[in-house]
């Protein structure tokens, strides 16, 4: 291959890679989705400590969780350069905090945090002294990626400056993900009236609502109802 051909191939590959979200974003999204699935497994098991439970019967739930997680991480795609990396990290850290907060509250009260509950902060005072007793060593897996990612950003200060905004990816994600979520809502909530599955409905058991919507979907719907 001649030098000119090599440069041409390199230039074409660069154009293609510029159209694809950066590896840091992909890694954050994939790890975030894995943590969401792990959280859903922990909170739908018979043992509310660190016990994983997730079976094929929850295929729809895991797909909805994928869509909600993808929508959540699509926001950083609107940023460019180092800002993309910082915002992506912030969203990953926010998700980790949300999952840990829900997990601790679930272990203490068998329920999940809501906007109504957070608005009444006095209800959380009794939990403060027992937070450490409700945390388990494996829970560090929910935050260790955020720590490592932050170290990576600090050590590689010059990386990411060439990242571009990827509005087409953002729009594609929103069209496909919201399309699937709405189709599931229309089929199971409206057509079948919740006989086989429930999406945007409050279940009598908080764990059912969390399993149906995933943590991100659960808090999104809770915010919609609250406000």
In angstroms, rounded to a whole number, what is the distance separating the alpha carbons of residues 110 and 98? 16
pLDDT for the residue 8: 54
Which residues, in sequence order, are CB contacts of 110 under 8 Å at separation 6+? 48, 206
CB 102 within 8 A of CB 113: yes
The shares of helix, strand and coil residues in the chain, as percent rounded to the nearest 5, are 75, 0, 25
Which residues, in sequence order, are CB contacts of 227 under 8 Å at separation 6+? 115
State which H helix or E strand residue 176 sits in: helix 167-184
Give tens-digit pLDDT for 136-169. 888 999 999 999 999 999 999 888 888 999 999 9
Helices within 58-160 (DSSP H only): 59-74, 82-109, 115-119, 125-128, 144-155
Mean of pLDDT values over 208-223: 89
Query: Which DSSP symbol is given to 22?
Result: P
What would the two tokens of residue 61 be? 């739930």
CB 117 within 8 A of CB 219: no
28 pLDDT above the threshold of 90: yes
Closest CA to 40 of 222, 221, 217, 227: 217
Query: What values do phi and psi take at 102, rounded to 5?
Result: -65, -40
122 pLDDT above the threshold of 80: no
Query: What values do phi and psi take at 205, rounded to 5?
Result: -105, 125
pLDDT for the residue 52: 53
In angstroms, rounded to a whole number, what is the distance separating the alpha carbons of residues 33 and 215? 11
170 pLDDT above the threshold of 90: yes
In angstroms, rounded to a whole number, what is the distance separating the alpha carbons of residues 7 and 19? 19
Mean of pLDDT values over 108-135: 75
Closest CA to 57 of 200, 215, 196: 196
Query: Does the pTM exceed 0.75?
Result: yes
CB 45 within 8 A of CB 207: no
């Amino acid at each position: 291959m001649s030098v000119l051909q090599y440069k041409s191939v390199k230039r074409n590959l660069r154009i293609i890679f510029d159209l694809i979200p950066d590896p840091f974003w992909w890694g954050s999204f994939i790890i975030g989705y894995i943590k969401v699935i792990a959280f859903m497994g922990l909170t739908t098991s018979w043992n509310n400590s660190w016990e994983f439970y997730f079976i094929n019967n929850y295929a729809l739930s895991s797909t909805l969780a994928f869509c909600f997680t993808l929508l959540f991480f699509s926001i950083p795609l609107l940023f460019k350069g180092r800002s993309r990396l910082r915002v992506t990290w912030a969203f990953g850290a926010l998700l980790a905090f949300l999952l840990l907060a829900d997990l601790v509250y679930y272990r203490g009260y068998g329920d999940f945090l809501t906007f109504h509950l957070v608005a009444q902060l006095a209800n959380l005072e009794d939990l403060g002294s027992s937070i450490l007793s409700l945390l388990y060593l494996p829970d560090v897996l929910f935050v260790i990626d955020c720590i490592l990612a932050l170290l990576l950003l600090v050590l590689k200060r010059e990386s990411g400056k060439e990242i571009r905004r990827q509005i087409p990816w953002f729009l594609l994600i929103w069209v496909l993900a919201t399309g699937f979520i709405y189709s599931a809502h229309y089929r199971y909530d409206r057509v079948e009236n919740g006989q086989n599955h429930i999406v945007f409905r409050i279940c009598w058991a908080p764990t059912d609502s969390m399993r149906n919507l995933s943590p991100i979907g659960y808090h999104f719907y809770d915010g919609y109802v609250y406000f």
